[in-house]
Structure 1
């Protein structure tokens, strides 16, 4: 049952987008009430407050859902062991990956954005687990782009299971009473890789032959009929991937490989951009509307690169960077560092602001429940499994808003119900 909906004018949608992602004042307050004259002249609309935050316990896998508009923890769902979480492109779903059980399943956010002529309807309902479960050997990377979600399964040499990717559309996931059937793309021998859905097929990583560490060495375009075409240049020691609108970026030993549709629309082409400093990167995050990709360079530096032009810059962080992401408007990168601080890095200038001591110092790598980081306009959320807390922090300036005590070991965290259609809308909601 729908418990609430909102209408929001669609002015100014073209500059927005999300992935994996700061709004102040506007024509309506968070619950649809009329705002005062001062708020009416603000350029940003707080419709992002319709979003929700999902948190997974790092031991039990139990899910807790926080409603930002209500400022309340409004749902809890049982778990069956640790999971990693990934928000889909639309924000309608979280993908829950259980490496221990060899499966991926989906959480409905309980927030849905429906375009309607010159405005939007934002519907809210109870979050729930989707009926679909996708099984495979060693589930790993998840990439969401072009309305599709790709789950990469690394495979198992011992069991004779090849690496492969399962692709399912978000549109199919939204249909109640029907269980979608994923489309599968075989990715050759077992390896640590990734896949991304593109028009006419999928980009799938290729294994490095005979590599004992199971690394990838490049990317192939596999069409819907299963035929594969190698993308050049190669991508030695491939270690991360991120969608950027119609492009997909891959972190390679010698630069960032950007794959995009050819000008004629037939097939895919690759371009390699060098790193702005000593590489390689081991993780990438993309921001579609700006065409920017960010990544880490060594333990204590990050970079940005324009996926279309290769223009780039390197920024020293000042401490080992454990987690990072781009806020949804693409203006700043946030990093959680091993000294327990949260840093905001302006992508245009490299200027850094810092909030010290939000968590005790910690090692970036290790066993057991880990910290998590999730971004939304005006808010940063950090999980602290050691203290059983979820930290809510104002994004600008960096100020602690609240320490939510959940208990247990909150670890994985994603923002749901947030995408290009409700991040940064002009005043005029009704």
Structure 2
């Protein structure tokens, strides 16, 4: 595949609401680059060679109905390589340390892994960065309908839904980057006795995962279980004594795991493996049938963001509050992406019309609030020109305060500076981008995804 990419110095005024002009942007890093030592010398002091590795990382981009992934430099959009996998991946996710992309081929029942080629290793007195060509690795997962994927601080998890029509059961597979690197199949799997559209989070050697009543007519679970890992399998320790009807959506914060139910959100306290729970009920102002169905968390904040489809809410377990954020989708649009930034300073929302909203967190009267800082419109092009089966998609850098957004109409990827809400770069493609994910050496904090 011939993929031509270039860095545009300015944005075309007729295509975008804001132009870079001649402004030189300095993007804010999450932390000191991995090649620099705590004393600021930039030298590791050991006797083996070190290659300078930039903090910007790489982007992996898919195209609709294609089995080829494009790997680009997140610094300047340079095309690094094109990697062929078995089939078309419906979803792309990064593993726990952002070295590999998990290419989820739900229809084919397969998850393949591409090494982004940028990572670091702990050498005791320093972290050693590495950079090499991206590649498809041998490690892969197979199961029925891989759907929900999480990348935590120490491992990655894939929930295979199973299939009602073929009576194939659900599974959860928990593994880490060392399994992928070494093609090591020695990881734990939870095997269910029924199908379900489930959700899960890992806490150390424990898995908190959903349970579906086998007699239920719904594919959604209604209970939450605690499972303890033992080698290649999990044993059930308990079922939490709380109903969670039509469970859909989970997330994790520093010491809490949250699951979204039709009537509220269950919070499980994981401190010292206590595994106690409380439930925050839906607020009275919710319309009939409204419920939280998507959750986001961050490992350094005991706060969550939830979406009900019609609104986005800040959930504070410390006071059991569910506060509606000052966000509204564009006309005839819906929420299409929501993320915490790498250090949790921002919440970044995007609707299906390509409007990106950046919120900044503030404490006022001992309560935490999210205030709108920037609204950025990705394109002023006629949205009717959006290619079939496409939409705007977004990924966040975990080393800089940057969001990358695909624009399938104009075949662009745009880099947005979260600090000032301006376009930092535009990468012009000769492919139509479908999904995008950031890979590289992350900062100290990275988000948990559902």
Structure 1 equivalent of residue 23 of structure 2 = none
Quick check: 1:24 aligned with 2:28?
yes
Say if 2:333 is the partner of 1:327.
no
Determine the C-alpha separation between the residues in 2 that align with 1:71 and 1:274. Answer: 45
Q: Is 1:106 matched up with 2:113?
A: yes
1:207 and 2:217 are equivalent in the alignment: no
| Per-residue deviation, 1:357 | 4.5
- 2:352, 2:391 within 8 Å by CA — same for their partners in 1? no
Cα deviations across residues 334-378 of structure 1 (Å, max 9, x unaligned)?
111233311112233422421125365769xx9723331111233
Q: How does 1:302-381 map to 2 (within 5 A)?
A: 302-307=312-317, 310-319=320-329, 320-348=334-362, 349-358=370-379, 360=381, 368-376=389-397, 377-381=400-404
Mapped partners of 1:214, 1:27: distance in 2: 43
The question of whether the paired residues in 1 share the 8 Å contact of 2:149 and 2:156 is answered with yes
The answer to whether the Cα contact below 8 Å between 1:54 and 1:414 also exists between their aligned partners in 2 is: yes
Q: 1:28 to 1:272 in 2, by over 3 A?
A: closer
Match of 2:202 in 1: 197
Kept in 2, the 8 Å contact 1:148–1:169? The answer is yes
Q: Which residues of structure 2 form unaligned runs of 5+?
A: 1-25, 37-52, 363-369
Is the contact made by 2:315 and 2:323 (CA closer than 8 Å) also made in structure 1?
Answer: yes
Greater mean alpha carbon deviation, residues 344-353 or residues 145-154: 344-353
Q: CA deviation at 1:77?
A: 0.9
Task: Identify the match of residue 263 of structure 2 among 245, 254, 257.
Answer: 254
Aligned to 1:74: 80
Distance 2:29 2:200 in 1: 39
Q: Please list the CA deviations of residues 116-140 of structure 1 after superposition, one character each: whole Å capped at 9, or x if unmatched.
A: 4554322211221221111111111
Q: Which residue does the alignment assign to 1:36? A: none
Q: How does 1:70-219 map to 2 (within 5 A)?
A: 71-79=77-85, 80-117=87-124, 119-175=126-182, 178-219=183-224
- How many aligned residue pairs are there? 384
Partner-residue secondary structure (3-state), 1:172: helix
Task: Report if aligned partners of 1:152, 1:163 keep a CA contact under 8 Å in 2.
Answer: yes
| Residue in structure 2 matched with residue 283 of structure 1 by the alignment | 294
> Which structure 1 residue ranges, 4+ long, deviate > 6 Å from structure 2?
25-32
| Corresponding residue to 2:303 among 292, 299, 313 | 292
Provide the rounded CA distance (Å) in 2 between the counterparts of 1:64 and 1:248.
34
Q: Deviations over 1:259-314 (max 9, x none)?
A: 24364x37x33222345652511111111012322121332x21222456645532
TM-score, with length taken from structure 1: 0.79
Question: How has the CA–CA distance of structure 1 residues 110 and 296 changed in structure 2, closer, same or farther, with 3 Å as cutoff?
Answer: same
Taking the aligned partners of 1:408 and 1:270, their CA distance within structure 2 comes to 48
Q: What do the CA deviations read for 1:198-249 (whole angstroms, capped 9, x no partner)?
A: 3334222112454444111121112235335212322211111123245322
Inter-CA distance 280–77: structure 2 relative to 1 (3 Å threshold): same
Distance of 2:30 and 2:113 partners within structure 1: 33
What secondary structure sits across from 1:173 in the alignment? helix
* Unaligned runs of at least 5 residues, structure 1: 1-21, 33-46, 424-430
The answer as to whether partners of 1:196 and 1:202 remain within 8 angstroms in 2 is yes
Which of 390, 404, 414 matches 2:413? 390
Q: Does the CA contact (< 8 Å) of 2:97 and 2:153 recur in 1? A: no
TM-superposed CA distance for 1:398, in Å, is 1.7
Relative to the length of structure 2, the TM-score reads 0.76
TM-superposition CA deviations, 1:371-414 (whole Å, max 9, x none)? 31111233111112343322222222222233322233312211
Q: Give 1:102 shift.
A: 0.6
User: Which structure has more RCO (C-alpha within 8 Å, separation ≥ 6)?
Assistant: 1
What SS does the aligned partner of 1:350 have? strand
Query: Which residue of structure 2 lines up, in the alignment, with residue 3 of structure 1?
Result: none
Superposition CA RMSD, Å: 3.3
Q: Is the 8 A contact 2:316 2:322 kept in 1?
A: yes
Q: Which secondary structure does the structure 2 equivalent of 1:205 belong to?
A: strand
